[in-house]
């Protein structure tokens, strides 16, 4: 346990974020007064239905979509499962080939593995050493039986922003659906389903200071998709269940705040990140960054120190003891001990040793300059401790 | 405003809101993270799972949190067809759409066939007929709801469980309407799978769970991270889980008193309705034997009876023509159709909770007198 006087610094905003108090305020009325079932025809229901419609159109607006193209889900994982399985099964008569990138989130990759057991063929597009997808390979992979290309907008571990506009254009030309998992990028950098030629896009709330347990899938009008959850026919028949109105209210508010503050936040967070990079560079001559610095989310830094990769887990524990939360990669894969080396870094050509040694710092709305100073001071102190142990053995 | 539509959804208990508010303010880590924030969130989920399991007399390892009851039901039906070599589902025409449409989907995929056991005109399942169907054919999945959401009929789960035990069938019991209102014993009743939605008993929307008997293994409906012991990926909805556990704790803390109170409300409503409407009837078993929260009233056809539900709403009385999900008019109720109710009469479901009062019943009766 942390001593109560330890300064606590949360630098793991890519894994999840605290709920903004303004979001919490927006949710409360839907936990108390407006509790109706949106499908009910009476006033308790219609009040909620009206709010639901408003939240839907608000979210649609933020990505340049139409209101009825937003299907609320229980989060990003469900949205990604829905997109891949829904397209795969609905378009089986056209083909059984799907293309994804090698650095997708576990929920995409594991869905693909499952689809392979159901008679589908999956191609994995490689990435370069910067973590950006190989467009030439992607072009060659698309064939007459391809129904879907799924490439994430920004990677969760290295923050690499993929050329989705170009991929979208390619998919449109080749008449293939394009899905992008925008859970990491939405709210941090602009997304536009029209100009980026996106057919399906997954979003979630808890990465943008909204609640856990809610997200959505954008499904472009006319896209042929099968639902995952069958039942009462909610969400235009595409996702049955009583709508989580409080969660949706929080999602819409969280998105609104991100949209309003994006302009200033990009600058502020980039400044903090640059300060962090400079600080680390000055302190550790063997410091290196994983992934592209030019095509990168402003809040992401993924780094390691040569020779200390084997000590990363110990370092993270020491930081944790000092009240600092950072991560070795994606939180989801922490459950899976067989896969402790990052599949993302390995896809970029790192060996398993290096791929195990990365530290991800992900900044957020509530981080300050002080946090960066404190982090730099602490990591220097702890690495020095480790290095001295290291050099003695 | 008087809310008599508690079968559709319920108001959150103040204790539940307070609990959720506390978690939303103070706990936000990703439970899969290894740092202190993650550990705190993980501990909270474990604690909630233990509470839920103990209230249902099952092991914590048999509870898997999902986004709702519909998801839990879809997971079981797909899982049985995928992993348990089940190609025959036995169900009834009175089931919730989650069961009906999930079954239809499996039929469409060519993975199973569906056999229906017909209810009588009171909405009861004939246990002998069920036994005959289960007995005659390959190993089946029996999907029957415990408490019907429209007419409140209670299934004899002990008898159905026994039949399933005798013929080695799996038993999915849709307990969405009864969890939080009934002291369950899944093991005793040989229930292999059960589903829960927190918003039916004063908990939040967007959270539920699947009870999965520890001896059975099915594959998940969603693929992703290793959450919920590899059974349900996705960053856990920790406030929802905390709200669900709190709602269950509150529900079972005063279960007997709440049941008795709600039963008295319903009995009073029945008595008053009989006084003011000579030809009033009740669909299914809701008048006496069904789930204590549900009363499905059959109003005689009059000049104004078509508009009754609408007029009640105008007067501030919230009731329903059937399940909220089907969302249509009374004549579209698949349940009332299946029990061959007189569809010329107007059926209205009044569903009660512990927050309702005798005074509200009186007010409702006055309005009914005025608008019927």
Residues A39-60 pLDDT 10s: 998 999 999 999 999 999 999 9
Domain residue extents for chain A: 9-18+262-391, 21-256
Would you call B224 and A10 a contact, using CB atoms and an 8 Å cutoff? Answer: no
Residue B233 distance to chain A (closest CA, Å): 7
Q: What is the mean pLDDT of chain A?
A: 94
Q: Are A291 and A346 in contact (CB under 8 A)?
A: no
Q: Is it the case that residue B71 has pLDDT exceeding 50?
A: yes
According to CATH, where is 3.90.1150.10 located in chain B? 2-10+255-371
Least CA distance to A327: which residue of chain B?
A: B33
Of residues A121, A123, A124, the one with CA closest to residue A344: A124
CATH code that applies to domain A21-256: 3.40.640.10
Residues B199-238 pLDDT 10s: 999 999 999 999 999 999 999 999 999 999 999 999 999 9
Per-residue pLDDT at B270? 98
Q: Which residues numbered 329-388 in A keep a CB inside 8 Å of some CB on B?
A: 330-336
Per-residue pLDDT at A332? 53
Per-residue pLDDT at A145? 98
Q: Are B321 and A41 in contact (CB under 8 A)?
A: yes
Name, in order, each residue with C-beta under 8 angstroms of A65's C-beta and a sequence gap of 6 or more: A193, A194, A218, A220
Per-residue pLDDT at A251? 98
**Entry pTM:** 0.95
Q: Is it the case that residue A390 has pLDDT exceeding 70?
A: no
Contact list, A10 vs chain B (CB under 8 Å): 37
Would you call A113 and B238 a contact, using CB atoms and an 8 Å cutoff? Answer: no
Per-residue pLDDT at B344? 82
Would you call A106 and B10 a contact, using CB atoms and an 8 Å cutoff? Answer: no
Per-residue pLDDT at A7? 86
Identify which of B10, B230, B234 has the shortest CB distance to residue A75: B234
DSSP A235-281: TTTTS-S---HHHHHHHHHHHHHHHHHHHHHHHHHHHHHHHHHHHHH
- Distances A204 to A184, A239, A280, B150, B323 between C-alpha atoms, Å: 9, 16, 32, 34, 29
Q: Which tokens hold the place of A247?
A: 């969660």
Least CA distance to A227: which residue of chain B?
A: B105
d(CA A354, CA A346) in angstroms, rounded, equals 8
Residues A55-94 pLDDT 10s: 999 999 999 999 999 999 999 999 999 999 999 999 999 9
Per-residue pLDDT at A337? 46
d(CA A225, CA A222) in angstroms, rounded, equals 9
Per-residue pLDDT at A333? 52
- Distances B129 to A2, A225, B100, B138 between C-alpha atoms, Å: 63, 39, 20, 16
A114 touches chain B (CB under 8 A): yes
Rounded to 5°, the CA angle B251-A74-B227 comes to: 85
Would you call A316 and B233 a contact, using CB atoms and an 8 Å cutoff? Answer: no
A45 touches chain B (CB under 8 A): yes
Residues A355-373 pLDDT 10s: 888 999 999 999 999 999 9
Least CA distance to B328: which residue of chain A?
A: A41
What is the mean predicted confidence (pLDDT) over A217-240? 96
**Pairing, β B63-66 against β B208-212:** antiparallel
Q: Is it the case that residue B329 has pLDDT exceeding 50?
A: no
Banded model confidence at residue A339, pLDDT cuts 50, 70, 90: low
According to CATH, where is 3.40.640.10 located in chain B? 14-253
Q: Is it the case that residue A246 has pLDDT exceeding 80?
A: yes
Residues B128-154 pLDDT 10s: 999 999 999 999 999 999 999 999 999
Q: Are B53 and B65 in contact (CB under 8 A)?
A: no
Residue A39 distance to chain B (closest CA, Å): 5
Least CA distance to A104: which residue of chain B?
A: B224
Helices and strands, counts by H and E, chain B = 12, 12
Q: Is it the case that residue A330 has pLDDT exceeding 90?
A: no
Per-residue pLDDT at B171? 98
SS3 state of residue A386: helix
What is the mean predicted confidence (pLDDT) over B332-336? 85
A107 touches chain B (CB under 8 A): yes
Banded model confidence at residue B176, pLDDT cuts 50, 70, 90: very high
Containing A306, the helix (H) or strand (E) segment is none
Banded model confidence at residue A318, pLDDT cuts 50, 70, 90: very high
What are the start-end ranges of the H helices in A156-214? 164-173
Per-residue pLDDT at A341? 86
Per-residue pLDDT at A384? 87
Q: What is the mean pLDDT of chain B?
A: 94
Name, in order, each residue with C-beta under 8 angstroms of A235's C-beta and a sequence gap of 6 or more: A71, A72, A243
ipTM (interface predicted TM): 0.94
- Distances A260 to A16, A255, A365 between C-alpha atoms, Å: 20, 9, 13
DSSP B131-145: HHHHHSSS--EEEEE
DSSP B156-225: -HHHHHHHHHHTT-EEEEE-TTTBTTB---TTTTT--EEEEEGGGGT--SS-EEEEE-TT-----SS-SS
Identify which of A44, A327, A335 has the shortest CB distance to residue B227: A335
CATH code that applies to domain B14-253: 3.40.640.10
Containing B300, the helix (H) or strand (E) segment is none
Identify which of A18, A233, A333 has the shortest CB distance to residue B325: A233
What is the mean predicted confidence (pLDDT) over B39-50? 97
Would you call A37 and B12 a contact, using CB atoms and an 8 Å cutoff? Answer: no
Banded model confidence at residue B285, pLDDT cuts 50, 70, 90: very high
Q: Which tokens hold the place of B107?
A: 């039929």
φ and ψ at residue A288, rounded to 5 degrees: -140, 155
A120 touches chain B (CB under 8 A): no
Per-residue pLDDT at A128? 97
Mind telling me the catalytic residues of B? 325
Q: Which residues numbered 142-201 in A keep a CB inside 8 Å of some CB on B?
A: none
d(CA B333, CA B341) in angstroms, rounded, equals 10
Q: Are B270 and A243 in contact (CB under 8 A)?
A: no
Pairs of CB atoms within 8 A across A/B: 258
Per-residue pLDDT at B261? 98
CATH code that applies to domain A9-18+262-391: 3.90.1150.10
Which of A181-185, A284-288, A292-296, A297-301 shows the lowest mean pLDDT across its residues? A284-288
Banded model confidence at residue B324, pLDDT cuts 50, 70, 90: low
d(CA B271, CA B362) in angstroms, rounded, equals 11
Would you call B233 and A106 a contact, using CB atoms and an 8 Å cutoff? Answer: yes
Identify which of A81, A113, A325 has the shortest CB distance to residue B37: A325
Banded model confidence at residue A391, pLDDT cuts 50, 70, 90: low
Q: Is it the case that residue A336 has pLDDT exceeding 60?
A: no
Find which of B10, B26, B29, B30 to mutate to test the A interface (most A CBs within 10 Å of its CB). Answer: B30
Least CA distance to B42: which residue of chain A?
A: A335
Q: Are A40 and B5 in contact (CB under 8 A)?
A: yes
Would you call A36 and B96 a contact, using CB atoms and an 8 Å cutoff? Answer: no
Q: Which tokens hold the place of A388?
A: 């001295």
Would you call B222 and A81 a contact, using CB atoms and an 8 Å cutoff? Answer: yes
Q: Which residues numbered 292-331 in A keep a CB inside 8 Å of some CB on B?
A: 316, 319-320, 323, 325-327, 330-331
Per-residue pLDDT at A393? 45
- Give Cα B179 to chain centroid, integer Å: 7
Q: Are B207 and B70 in contact (CB under 8 A)?
A: no
Q: Is it the case that residue B190 has pLDDT exceeding 50?
A: yes
CATH code that applies to domain B2-10+255-371: 3.90.1150.10
Q: Pick left, alpha or beta for residue B182 (phi over 0 → left; psi -120 to 50 → alpha; otherwise beta).
A: beta
Residues A169-225 pLDDT 10s: 999 999 999 999 999 999 999 999 999 999 999 999 999 999 999 999 999 999 999
Residue A294 distance to chain B (closest CA, Å): 28
Would you call B1 and A74 a contact, using CB atoms and an 8 Å cutoff? Answer: no
Per-residue pLDDT at B281? 95
Q: Pick left, alpha or beta for residue B123 (phi over 0 → left; psi -120 to 50 → alpha; otherwise beta).
A: left
Cβ atoms within 10 Å of B51's Cβ, excluding its own: 19
Q: Are B255 and B55 in contact (CB under 8 A)?
A: no
Contact list, A80 vs chain B (CB under 8 Å): 224
Q: Is it the case that residue A392 has pLDDT exceeding 60?
A: no
Which of A243-247, B249-253, B328-332 shows the lowest mean pLDDT across its residues? B328-332
Q: Are A343 and A336 in contact (CB under 8 A)?
A: no
């Amino acid at each position: 346990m942390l001593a109560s006087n330890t300064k606590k610094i949360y630098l793991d905003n890519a894994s999840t974020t605290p709920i903004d108090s303004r979001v919490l305020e927006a949710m409360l009325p839907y936990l108390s007064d407006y509790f109706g079932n949106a499908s009910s025809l009476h006033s308790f229901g219609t009040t909620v239905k009206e709010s639901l419609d408003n939240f839907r159109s608000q979210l649609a607006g933020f990505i340049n979509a139409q209101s009825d193209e937003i299907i609320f889900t229980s989060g990003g994982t469900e949205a990604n499962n829905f997109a891949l399985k829904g397209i795969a099964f609905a378009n089986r008569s056209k083909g059984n080939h799907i293309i994804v990138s090698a650095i997708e989130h576990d929920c995409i990759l594991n869905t693909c593995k499952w689809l392979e057991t159901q008679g589908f063929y999956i191609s994995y597009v490689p990435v370069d050493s910067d973590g950006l997808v190989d467009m030439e390979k992607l072009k060659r992979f698309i064939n007459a039986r391809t129904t879907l290309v799924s490439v994430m907008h920004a990677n969760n571990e290295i923050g690499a922003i993929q050329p989705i506009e170009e991929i979208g254009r390619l998919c449109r030309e080749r008449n293939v659906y394009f899905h992008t998992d925008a859970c990491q990028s939405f709210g941090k950098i602009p997304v536009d389903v029209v100009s980026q030629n996106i057919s399906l896009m997954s979003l979630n709330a808890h990465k943008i200071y909204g609640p856990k347990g809610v997200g959505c899938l954008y499904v472009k009008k006319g896209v042929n998709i099968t639902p995952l959850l069958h039942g009462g026919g909610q969400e235009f028949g595409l996702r049955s269940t009583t709508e989580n109105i409080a969660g949706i209210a929080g999602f819409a508010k969280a998105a609104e705040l991100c949209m309003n503050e994006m302009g200033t936040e990009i600058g502020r967070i980039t400044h903090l990140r640059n300060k962090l990079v400079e600080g680390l560079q000055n302190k550790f001559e063997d410091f290196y960054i994983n992934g592209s610095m030019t095509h990168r989310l402003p809040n992401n830094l993924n780094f390691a120190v040569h020779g200390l990769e084997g000590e990363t887990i110990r370092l993270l524990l020491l930081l944790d003891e000092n009240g600092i939360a950072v991560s070795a990669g994606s939180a989801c894969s922490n459950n899976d001990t067989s896969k402790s080396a990052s599949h993302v870094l390995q896809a970029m050509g790192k060996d398993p040793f290096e791929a195990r040694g990365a530290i991800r710092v992900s900044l957020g709305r509530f981080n300050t300059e002080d946090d960066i100073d404190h982090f730099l001071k602490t990591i220097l102190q702890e690495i020095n401790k480790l290095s001295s142990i290291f050099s003695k053995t | 405003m008087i809310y008599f539509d508690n079968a559709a959804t319920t108001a959150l208990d103040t204790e539940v809101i307070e609990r959720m508010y506390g978690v939303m303010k103070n706990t936000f880590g990703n439970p899969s993270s290894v740092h202190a924030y993650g550990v705190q969130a993980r501990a909270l989920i474990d604690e909630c799972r233990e509470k839920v399991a103990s209230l249902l007399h099952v092991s914590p390892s048999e509870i898997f949190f999902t986004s709702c009851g519909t998801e839990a039901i879809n997971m079981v039906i797909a899982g049985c067809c995928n992993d348990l070599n089940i190609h025959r589902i036995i169900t009834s025409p009175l089931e919730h759409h989650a069961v009906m449409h999930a079954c239809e989907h499996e039929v469409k995929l060519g993975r199973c066939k569906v056999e229906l056991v017909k209810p009588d005109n009171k909405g009861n399942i004939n246990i002998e007929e069920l036994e005959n169907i289960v007995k005659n054919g390959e190993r089946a999945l029996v999907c029957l709801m415990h408490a019907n959401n429209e007419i409140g009929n209670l299934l004899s789960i002990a008898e159905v469980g026994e039949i399933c035990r005798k013929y080695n069938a799996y038993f999915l019991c849709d307990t969405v309407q009864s969890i939080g209102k009934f002291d369950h014993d899944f093991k005793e009743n040989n229930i292999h799978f059960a589903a829960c939605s927190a918003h039916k008993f004063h908990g939040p929307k967007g959270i539920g769970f699947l009870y999965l008997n520890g001896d059975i293994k099915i594959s998940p409906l969603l693929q992703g991270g290793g959450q919920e012991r590899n059974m349900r990926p996705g960053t856990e909805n920790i406030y929802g889980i905390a709200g669900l556990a709190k709602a269950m704790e509150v529900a079972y803390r005063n279960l007997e008193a709440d049941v008795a109170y709600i039963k008295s409300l319903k009995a009073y409503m029945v008595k008053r309705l009989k006084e003011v409407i000579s030809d009033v009837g009740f669909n299914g078993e809701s008048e006496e034997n069904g789930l204590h929260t549900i009363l499905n009233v059959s109003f005689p056809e009059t000049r104004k009876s078509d508009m009754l539900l609408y007029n009640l709403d105008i007067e501030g009385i919230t009731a329903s023509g059937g399940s909220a999900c089907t969302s249509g008019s009374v004549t579209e109720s698949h349940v009332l159709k299946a029990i061959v109710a007189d569809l010329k009469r107007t059926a209205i479901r009044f569903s009660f909770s512990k927050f309702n009062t005798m005074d509200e019943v009186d007010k409702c009766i006055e309005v009914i007198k005025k608008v019927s």
